[in-house]
Structure 1
Amino acid sequence: MTNREVVVDLASFQSELTVQDYKNIGATKAIVKISENTNYVNPYIRSLIDRSAGGGVNGFAFYHFGRFYNDSAAVAEANYFIANAKRYANVQPGTLLILDAEIKGMPTSSVIAFLQTLRNAGYHTGFYTYKFLLPQFNLEEIHKYADFFWLAAYPLGGQPGPRVPDFNYFPSANYVDCWQHTDNLLGYKVDGSITLTDNAIKLFNPSEVKAEEPKPTPSPNQNNVKYDSWTDDLGVKWYKEDGTFTLSESINLRWGAKTDSDLIATLNPGDVVKYDAFSKHDGYVWLRQVRDNGQFGYLASGECDSNGKRTSAWGKFE
């Protein structure tokens, strides 16, 4: 018997969900929105991954909201999706990347062009649409290019949906791996789905995909006063401080303030980092670098003892 797992799909609308919210929801898989058209990237990709992982999600896939009506535009959007999935989610070959096809008039040939572009780049491919839109597509043809089919069908009205749906309402269709059965799972304003096949579960766990440790998120009340402090939703205390740090040795810049967080780059001696906050935890003094699109980078600037006293500095502060 196929193991049923709860899946949530996460976009900017879910940016306020906390680690505890995800624990309450009880999902084990998540599909995170990366992009839309060729001019939008979800600014909350990293925090959505980090918080949901902290709340119990152990497998990820990623999706793009398609806006194309011809094959060339489909290829352009697929390449935009791939580039930003690499940049913000560190996707590796074998990751499941999904097309969200929910606009009227999208040609089947263009869907296939999009999926072929993903597959040619080494990714597993997925196709998502609503039951009422399914007749506009040639599912038999699309299925040849899609490793995963995710179908949405649920009652309108926004009423809280259960964690496990009533299968008497399952939308009959071929090849369905995952069923989105509510747009308000347990009242948390998040789309809820359930896996239907072993194939679905396998694709959420490609061996190269790794979710980093949850990273700090700033308090909405922080200001520019030096040493204004806040505690993030993981219990780590941060202090506001604007400054620059010039490295005296090579240091890894990471997506999170943990030594096993995903790597952004290795910085070299002489590189200058502008930072806006610091934290002392896990034996290091961490700095937070502000990046594009609301993202942050983190680096250890030296060591500290168990009382938070700095014992070394791997560069010069200004």
Structure 2
Amino acid sequence: MPIYAVDVYSESNDSIIRDPHAQAVIVKATQNTGYVNPKCNHQWDLAGQLGKLRGLYHYAGGSNPETEAQYFINNIKNYVGQGILALDWEKAQNASWGDPTWAKRFVIEVHRLTGVWPIIYVQESALWQVANCADVCGVWVAKYYSMQWYSWSLPNMSVSSGAFAFLTGWQFTGGDMDRDVFFLDEAGWKKLANPENKKVEESKPSAPTPAPTPEPAKPKSWTDSVGDTWTEENGTFTTNQAINLRWGAKQSSSLIATLSAGSEVKYDAYSRHDGYVWLRQPRGNGQYGYLVCRDANTNEPFGTFK
């Protein structure tokens, strides 16, 4: 029988951990080398009190991978062996996105420190970036039918495992909460967490100590050639209706395509002008596409953001 799980971070409500459908909880522990989730210990303890399987993940910042691995393990060393470990490999706030060597160096260092191979969370389209980990790690793929799939029933869709022999896990929703399914049983989960079956102390581990959180860098802003101000921001927008994708951020700009409801667009900047909030979509050869995502007057969104 598969294991259904949720993954949580500092802004997640405890109700997500308490959801009776979730048999396991994977908690964000660290990011880069300067952030510890201040709710990590609480979320870990709550999941344990509810009798759920547990895990911890590190969000890659793209700095030195060995240093990030050491930072991760140093902050969760008292939990090693009690839950699975995972690397969250995403584009946002990741300076090494696109580097196919980074994840392998990270997991090798984690294994050197703990004897545990972490699983790797990655979107399906970026499986190639972590393919060289397939000989030692499991893969946890993110792919959604839509951002409005507010259900624990699995959507009927194919999900690739790329170079990996099989899917270890699949994150199949990301709207109201991140729902996951892992294709293993409780014994398999515990084997990933503690492959050498080392004795784990029963006493409560000490809490990770949050490191000082540096002041976030102010987003870069600029004014384009037609006088519109843009602000740098990376994310994914999923449309909830048909929206035109254009070569410029004007309603008069020439059309690239009409996106159907449920289309996902990766964007790197936004601008509020001419009655709308516009997003900029990076495309090949240094070109960009543009689309509206929100009514600037009513603030009504035309989709969801992640």
Could you state the TM-score of these two structures normalised by the residue count of structure 1?
A: 0.55
> Which letter maps to 1:91?
Y
Structure 1 counterpart of 2:32, from 30, 37, 42: 37
Map Cα deviations across residues 176-211 of structure 1 (whole Å, 9 max, x no partner): 111100014xxxx32110112358534466356979
2-structure distance, mates of 1:154, 1:9: 15
Any unmatched runs of 5+ in structure 2?
A: 212-306
Q: Secondary structure of the equivalent of 2:140?
A: strand
In structure 1, the residue corresponding to 2:118 is in which secondary structure? strand
Aligned residue for 2:44?
Answer: 49
Quote the Cα distance in structure 2 between the aligned partners of 1:114 and 1:125: 9
Change in CA separation of 1:200 and 1:165 when aligned onto 2, cut-off 3 Å:
farther
| 1:123 equivalenced with 2:116 (yes/no) | yes
Q: Is residue 2:149 matched to residue 1:153?
A: no
Task: Report if the CA contact (8 A) 1:151-1:180 is conserved.
Answer: yes
Partners of 2:22 and 2:184 lie apart in 1 by 16
Does 2:159 align with 1:171? Answer: yes
The amino acid across from 2:154 in the alignment is: P
Looking at structure 1, the residues matched to 65 and 40 of structure 2 have their Cα atoms a distance apart, in angstroms, of: 22
Structure 2 residue aligned with 1:201: 189
Percent identity of equivalent pairs:
23
Q: 1:203 to 1:149 in 2, by over 3 A?
A: farther
- The separation in 2 between residues aligned to 1:138 and 1:292, in whole angstroms, is 30
Contact kept? 2:90, 2:97, Cα under 8 Å? no
Kept in 2: contact 1:95–1:209 (CA 8 A): no
Alpha-carbon distance between aligned partners in 2 of 1:119 and 1:292, rounded to the nearest angstrom:
22
Provide the rounded CA distance (Å) in 2 between the counterparts of 1:292 and 1:115. Answer: 23
* Inter-partner Cα distance in structure 2 for 1:39 and 1:202: 29
Quickly say closer, same or farther: Cα 1:49–1:80, change in 2 above 3 A. Answer: same
- Secondary structure, in 3 states, of the residue corresponding to 2:33? coil
Match of residue 69 from structure 2: 78
Does structure 2 retain, via aligned residues, the 8 Å contact 1:60–1:204?
no
Q: Aligned to 1:163, what secondary structure does the other structure show?
A: coil
Contact 1:178 1:200 in 2 (8 A): no
CA drift of 1:46 comes to 1.2
Aligned position for 1:5: 3
**Whole-Å Cα distance in 2 between the matches of residues 99 and 42 of structure 1?**
15
CA contact (8 A) 2:6 2:177 kept: yes
Paired amino acid for 2:22? A
Larger radius of gyration: 1
What is the CA distance between 1:155 and its match in structure 2? 3.5
Q: Residues 123 and 31 of structure 1: is their aligned pair in 2 closer, same or farther, counting only changes over 3 Å?
A: same
Task: Letter of the 2:179 partner, please give it.
Answer: G
Query: Which runs of 5 or more residues in structure 1 are unaligned?
Result: 212-259, 266-290, 295-318
Q: How many residues align?
A: 200
> Counterpart of 2:204?
262
1:17 aligned partner:
14
Q: 1:56: Cα distance to partner?
A: 4.1
1:155 alignment partner, SS class: coil
* SS of 1:124 mapped into structure 2: coil
